[in-house]
Structure 1
Amino acid sequence: LLIEKIRQSCSSSAVNLSEAFAEFTKDIICRVALGRKYGEGEGESGRNFKELLGEVMELLGVINMGDYIPWLAWVSRVNGLDAKAEKVSKQLDDFLEGVIEEHINGQKKGNDNHNLENEGQKDFVDVLLWVQKENVIGFPIERVSIKAILLDVFTAGTDTTYSVLEWAMTELLRHPKTMKKMQNEVREITRNKKNIKAVDLDEMHYLTAVIKETLRLHPILPLLTPRESCRDAKIQGYDIAVGTKVFINAWAIGRDPGLWDNPEEFHPERFLTSSIDFKGHNFQFIPFGAGRRGCPGISFSITTIKLVLAKLLHYFDWTLPDGTRGVDLDMTESIGMVIHRKFPLVAVATPYVA
Structure 2
Amino acid sequence: MAISLLCFCFVTFLTLIFLVKKIKQSKWNLPPTPPTFPVIGNLHQIGELPHRSLQSLAQRFGPVMLIHFGFVPVVVITSKEAAEEVLRTHDLDCCSRPKLVGTRLLSRDFKDVGFTPYGEEWKERRKFAVRELFCLKKVQSFRHIREEECNILVKKLSESAVDRTPVDLSKTLFWLTASILFRVALGQDFHESKFIDKEEIEELVFEAETALASFTCSDFFPVAGLGWLVDWFSGQHKRLNDVYLKLDTLFQLVIDDHMNPGRTKNHEDIIDAMLDVIHKQGKNDSLKLTVDHIKGFLANIFLAGIDTGAITMIWAMTELAKKPKLMKKVQDEIRDCLGNNKETITEEDVDKVPYLKLVIKETFRLHPAAPLILPRETMSHMKVQGYDILPKTRILVNTWAIGRDPKLWTEPEEFNPERFIDSHVDYRGQHYELLPFGSGRRMCPGMPMGIATVELGLLNLLYFFDWRVPDGMTHKDIDTEEAGTLTTVKKVPLKLVPVRAM
Same fold (TM over 0.5): yes
- The change in CA–CA distance for 1:202 and 1:241 in structure 2 (over 3 A counts) is same
Q: Is the 8 A contact 1:39 1:50 kept in 2?
A: no
Q: Is the 8 A contact 1:45 1:95 kept in 2?
A: no
Residues 110-151 of structure 1: CA distance to partner in whole angstroms, max 9, x if unpaired? x584xxxxxx82111000100111128533211111110011
Cα distance in 2 for residues equivalent to 1:35 and 1:46: 15
- The change in CA–CA distance for 1:44 and 1:190 in structure 2 (over 3 A counts) is closer
Using the aligned pairs only, state the percent identity: 38
Q: Partner residue of 1:67?
A: 219
SS in 2 for 1:347: strand
Cα distance in 1 for residues equivalent to 2:375 and 2:439: 12
Number of aligned residue pairs: give it: 344
SS in 2 for 1:24: helix
- The change in CA–CA distance for 1:233 and 1:327 in structure 2 (over 3 A counts) is same
SS in 1 for 2:467: strand
Q: Partner residue of 2:154?
A: 3
Cα distance in 2 for residues equivalent to 1:73 and 1:234: 33
Runs of 5+ unmatched residues, structure 2: 1-151
Instruction: Determine whether 1:125 maps to 2:274.
Output: no
TM, length-normalised to structure 1 = 0.92
Q: Partner residue of 1:272?
A: 421
Aligned-partner residue type, residue 132 of structure 1: I
Q: Partner residue of 1:315?
A: 464
Runs of 5+ unmatched residues, structure 1: 114-119
Match of 1:54 among 201, 206, 209: 206
1:238, distance to aligned residue in structure 2 (A): 1.2
1:241, distance to aligned residue in structure 2 (A): 1.1
Instruction: Determine whether 1:78 maps to 2:239.
Output: no
Greater CA drift, 296-305 or 286-295: 296-305
Cα distance in 2 for residues equivalent to 1:46 and 1:347: 22
1:176, distance to aligned residue in structure 2 (A): 1.0
Q: Partner residue of 2:188?
A: 36
SS in 2 for 1:121: coil
1:315, distance to aligned residue in structure 2 (A): 0.9
Match of 2:325 among 159, 164, 177: 177
Q: Partner residue of 2:29?
A: none
Higher-Rg structure is 2
Q: Is the 8 A contact 1:205 1:272 kept in 2?
A: no
Give 1:222-241 correspondences, 5 Å limit.
222-241=371-390
Residues 172-227 of structure 1: CA distance to partner in whole angstroms, max 9, x if unpaired? 00111111111012111221332221111112111000010011000111011111
Q: Partner residue of 1:116?
A: none
- The change in CA–CA distance for 1:141 and 1:47 in structure 2 (over 3 A counts) is farther
Greater CA drift, 80-89 or 317-326: 317-326
TM, length-normalised to structure 2 = 0.65
Instruction: Determine whether 1:247 maps to 2:399.
Output: no
Q: Is the 8 A contact 2:164 2:498 kept in 1?
A: no
Q: Partner residue of 1:93?
A: 248
Aligned-partner residue type, residue 276 of structure 1: V
Instruction: Determine whether 1:283 maps to 2:432.
Output: yes
Residues 230-265 of structure 1: CA distance to partner in whole angstroms, max 9, x if unpaired? 111122221111111100000000000111111111
Q: Is the 8 A contact 2:470 2:497 kept in 1?
A: yes
Cα distance in 2 for residues equivalent to 1:14 and 1:228: 46
1:36, distance to aligned residue in structure 2 (A): 1.5
Instruction: Determine whether 1:140 maps to 2:288.
Output: yes
